[in-house]
Amino acid sequence: RHLASSGVDVYTAVAGSAAALYGPRHGGANEAVLRMLEKIGSVENIPQFIEDVKAKKVRLMGFGHRVYKNYDPRAKIVREIANEVFEITGKEPLIEVAAALEKIALADPYFVERKLYPNVDFYTGTIYKA
């Protein structure tokens, strides 16, 4: 809408819109979550990962949102949809890591005080991978 309002042709507006969704901080965010979950590898590695996040050695992807300062309502919906998808396709192994990471982070004062809750990108990557 903003691009088109500047008077550009429709092709430029669509290209600009697609470009705005590209990259690890927006359209690539769910891919970044997948890479993070793969790097964690298993539930047993989550405590060390959490400590590394707190020490600012790594970033916790898929948590926090500029607008949603509490649990992203879209994330709840996508999490339920993920379970439905896995009933059909078989369970994506990374969902176990994701669910455990969410549970640990939501119980940790460090993340709660900073209002870091899962956003919609946290679970969409696991659906795409399934």
What positions carry a catalytic annotation?
A: 26, 65, 121
SS3 of the chain: CHHHHCCCCHHHHHHHHHHHCCCCCCCCHHHHHHHHHHHHCCHHHHHHHHHHHHCCCCCCCCECCCCCCCCCHHHHHHHHHHHHHHHHHCCCCHHHHHHHHHHHHHHCHHHHHCCCCECCHHHHHHHHHC
